Each structure stands twice: as C-alpha cells, then as structure tokens.
Amino acid sequence: MLKNKIALAMLSVMLSFSATAAMTISGTRIIYPGGEKEVSVRTNNRGDHPPLVQVWVDDGKTTGDVNNMKVPFIVTPPIYRVEPGKGQTVRVIYNGMALPQDRESLYWFNMLEIPPAQSETSDNKNRLELAFRTRIKIIYRPSSLGYSGVEKLHDVTWQIIDNPKFGRGVKISNPTAYFMNFDGGEFTAGGRVWNIDLDMLAPLQSKEFYAMPSMPVGSAISSANIRIINDFGAAMIRKLKSGEGNTLTLTADTSK
C-alpha cells in the first residue's frame, strides 16, 4: 500500500499537464433568429499550438447518441485545424426541422479541442495532453417574438415559500415565451444577506430555489437582487421588493 502511494506521488511529480484550453468562442451564447438560414460563430486559437477542433450541436441530453440525435442545425466545417493566433468561422445552418413558433427552443453548440501530438523528446515524453470541450447555448427565437426576454422579466412571478428541510426560498414562474437565464442573486432579511443560486427557467416553467445557507422559515425578506443574462452574455442586476401575499415584485426603476 505504501509503495503504491509513493509511486502515485512520483507519477504526479513527473507528469506535466497541459490544462489550459487554447480555443475560444466569440460570445457566451448563440441567438438564432427565426427566418434566418444560417448564423456564423467565430472560434479563435489563443494558444501556441495548432489543435484539431470538432464542432457539433446536441439537444442537451448527456446520455443521448449524438450521431442519432435529431437537432435542427448542422455545423460546417465539422472538423478543422487552427493555427496559433488564427481563427475559424463556423456556419450554423438551420436544416428545416419543425420547431415551436410560439416560444424559444434550446440547443447546445459544442466545441472539442484536441491538442496536436507531441514529438517524443525528453521534454514531452512525460507530458499529459488533455482534450477540452466547450458548450454554449443555442437559443432559437421565432421571428414572431421580440428582441429579448429580459424585456419580459416583469411578467415573471416570485412567490416566497417555506420548506421544513430547506428553509425559506422562492418559487419563480416564467409565463413567457423566453428562456430566463438567471445567474444567482441575494435575499436581504433582518439586515443579513443570503445567497440564492438561481439558474435558467424555460418558457412556461416554474422552479423552486432556496437561500444558502438555509434561511429560517418565516424570515421577513425585505428585498432581493437578481442577476439575469442578456443576449450578449452580460449579467444585468435587477431589484425586487417585498409585495403582498408573500410575493416579491420587480422594482419600477430596474436600473437600480
């Protein structure tokens, strides 16, 4: 047992790791306007080696077979090589698959970066190379919808709830046709601030979120700050205030 531990420790010291992704995607999400035949996505190599890159689209099911998955987009080129300091534009093309026209649909753009094989030199023979996978959202927005879901945030409802196990939290209901991409927030109660780990809500979806650490049941929440991500990937802060019947309401001046 001791020998195994020593061997593992020596291996950890001997191996050097290449653990930094060189390839980047311009933007943190792709908004695909309905009616468009294709959109372009720029990928760039910030590293000093030319990796092989593979790109594809999936429906978010991690256990699904990508080769047999039905998705409304194809990407071209699907495989390419990028020289250091250079980039490659990828075309995301709508293939005509029927999609709901009364609400947004969500898919995922994937980029797999495979580092080039290293020569068998003394510097490289103990080097462990890692492949990096990057995923960003593709949000298909029918042409019948407006510019951004952030503009519909006032339609979202916030109901304060209690749970014997998790404490005080909030039930958020999204009656809109848009994905609401939240990035956390904070509750204020009794002069103390609690974090709340908000995430994405699909159109017509409701979800429950609880304060961390657990907030005592019945605590009087006076206000809340939430962060919502816009089409450009920027986090916008919005304030909520205590309303009637254990609710929170968006403040009239959302710039505060």
* Token code pair at residue 216: 């005592």
Task: Calculate mean pLDDT across residues 36-59.
Answer: 95
Task: Calculate mean pLDDT across residues 111-126.
Answer: 72
Q: Check residue 21 and give its pLDDT.
A: 78
pTM of the predicted protein model: 0.84
Q: What single DSSP character describes residue 2?
A: H
Q: Check residue 65 and give its pLDDT.
A: 74
Of residues 127 and 78, the one with the higher pLDDT is: 78
Q: Check residue 148 and give its pLDDT.
A: 86
pLDDT at 124 > cutoff 90:
no
Q: What single DSSP character describes residue 95?
A: -
- pLDDT digits 0-9 by tens, 206-248: 999 999 999 999 999 999 999 999 999 999 999 999 988 899 9
Q: What is the rounded CA–CA span in Å between residue 107 and residue 72?
A: 9
Candidate from 15-24, 99-108, 222-231 with smallest mean pLDDT: 15-24
Q: Check residue 121 and give its pLDDT.
A: 59
For the chain, which domains are there?
13-141 (2.60.40.10), 149-250 (2.60.40.10)
With beta carbons less than 8 A apart as the criterion, state whether 145 and 35 touch. Answer: no
**Dmax over Cα atoms in the chain, in whole Å?**
71
Task: Tell me, rounded to whole angstroms, the distance of Cα 25 from its chain centroid.
Answer: 13
- pLDDT digits 0-9 by tens, 159-194: 999 999 999 999 999 999 999 999 999 999 988 999
DSSP string, 167-185: EEEEEEE--SSS-EEEEEE
Split at pLDDT 50, 70, 90, the class of 56 is: very high
Rg (CA), the chain: 23
Q: Check residue 184 and give its pLDDT.
A: 96
With beta carbons less than 8 A apart as the criterion, state whether 94 and 32 touch. Answer: yes
Task: Calculate mean pLDDT across residues 137-149.
Answer: 92
Angle, CA 96 vertex, CA 95 and CA 102 arms, to 5°? 125
Split at pLDDT 50, 70, 90, the class of 255 is: very low
* Token code pair at residue 137: 């959202």
